[in-house]
Each structure stands twice: as structure tokens, then as C-alpha cells.
Amino acid sequence: MTTSVTENTTITISAAAARARDLGVLLLAMVSGATDAIGFVALGGVFTSVMTGNMVFFGLAIARGDVGQLANAATAIVCFMLGCAIGARIAGRPAKNDPPWPRPVTVALLLEFGLFGAYTIGYESAHLGHANATLQPILLALTATGLGVQSAAVQRFGQSGLSTTYMTGTLTTLVARLATGGSARDAMPNLRLLLGLIAGAVAGGLLAVYARPFAPVLQLGLLAGVLVIASLPRERHG
């Protein structure tokens, strides 16, 4: 059995339900890694979920007078914030009677899938995946908004520190747990997310460099896998 703590209650879920949820979250981390890598290579040299990095890019662009990078960084930051607001409104807060995978999380992820579907259509309409100056900021906006929705939606799970986009916090939690005597088993969820992010970035980067037209297939495929997991029946014990 696995325990998930929310603001008002403690929910215990079966081991099978916990494993399914953890797999879904892992795939979402891979989506983030892949999208950041593809976005950096093909959509203007900024990230779609690493807002700390984009804020640095924003500052550097001001210092250098680089209007293009300034616009790209601003687009990513603003659209990610917009996605977070939308995702939070759809997914809501953890509730006492939440199942292991609350339906509002799935609804939010369906919106993300739709945003990535629109991005894929635009991406594939560009010649060999090389977005032109008009299309590039639109594709960047769609993916950043999608990852903002995802980032906010996973907060509904009610697990402290859980994130599929803010990986600096995940890395900090991992190191802090190990440094203060925590067991390797306790640190494994954080490690899995970090490795998932890296694996997604590797796959996305390879596609963006060597097979750019096929890059969106990876992102949509991973999101589709998450939605399949979300559709499976869940068991909850209160």
C-alpha cells in the first residue's frame, strides 16, 4: 500500500494503482525532457518547461540586445504561466475522496494532448520540420502552454514535491534525502523522474537533430501512453 498526503486527509492506495500512477508521471517527465530538447533545437533556442533557464535567457537577451531570443524567452515564460493557470483551474486541488488518478487530471492532460496535436500539425506543415519565422513562435507557445497545463495538473495528486517539469527541486530533494540518511528506496521516485527527463531529452534530441520531421511522434506517443494509463480502473482505500 502507498500513502498520499493532501492538505486535509491521508489517502492509501493499492500498490498496483501506485505503480500505474508512477508510470504515468514518469512518462510525463519524459514528455518534458523531449519537448525541452526539441524546442531548444528546433524552436528558437529556449526551453518549454525550464522557466529558470528561460529567465536567464531573457536577461541575457536584454544584455546582448538580442530581440529574437528576448521574444522567444518571453513567449515561453508567458505561455507556460498561462498553461499553469489553466491546468490549475481544470485539475483543481487535492480532495478528500480523490481516487489515485483524479479525473480532472485526465481532463487537463487531454487539453495538453490537444495542444500538442495542434503543434504537431503546424510542425509537420513546415518543410522537414524547420519552422519558419512566422510559425516558430506559435509552435513554441503551444508546447510551453501544454507543459504549463501538465505542470499544474500533477499537483492534484497531492504528493509533496512531485513535479514533471521542475526538476531542480526534484534533484534537490533527492540529494537532501540521501545526505540526511534517507534510504535509496525512498529516493528512487525522484531518481526515476530525473532519469525519465534525461531519457526523454536524449530521444527528443536525437529526433530533432537526425529525424526532425518525426520528433512530434515521440511527444504525442508518450502523452497517449499517459492517457491510456489514466483510463485504467483504479482502486482506492480510505
DSSP letter string, 191-236: HHHHHHHHHHHHHHHHHHHH-GGGHHHHHHHHHHHHHHHHHS---E
Q: Do residues 34 and 63 make contact, with C-beta atoms less than 8 angstroms apart?
A: no
What pLDDT is attached to residue 56? 96
Residue 217 lies in a domain: yes
Residue 4 lies in a domain: no
Tell me the mean pLDDT per 10 residues along the chain, length 238: 45 72 94 95 92 95 96 97 97 89 96 97 72 82 97 88 82 84 80 94 95 92 96 60
Residue 3 lies in a domain: no
Q: Do residues 150 and 165 make contact, with C-beta atoms less than 8 angstroms apart?
A: yes
Structural Rg of the chain based on CA atoms:
18
DSSP 83: H
The pTM (predicted TM-score) of the whole model is 0.87
Q: Which domain holds residue 160?
A: 12-232
Residue 6 lies in a domain: no
Residue 216 lies in a domain: yes
What pLDDT is attached to residue 119? 95
Residue 187 lies in a domain: yes
Residue 5 lies in a domain: no
Spatial strand order of the sheet with 236-237 comes to 2-5, 10-13, 236-237
CATH at residue 206: 1.20.1250
Residue 17 lies in a domain: yes
The count of domains in the chain is 1
What pLDDT is attached to residue 212? 87
Question: What are the beta bridge partners of residue 3?
Answer: 12
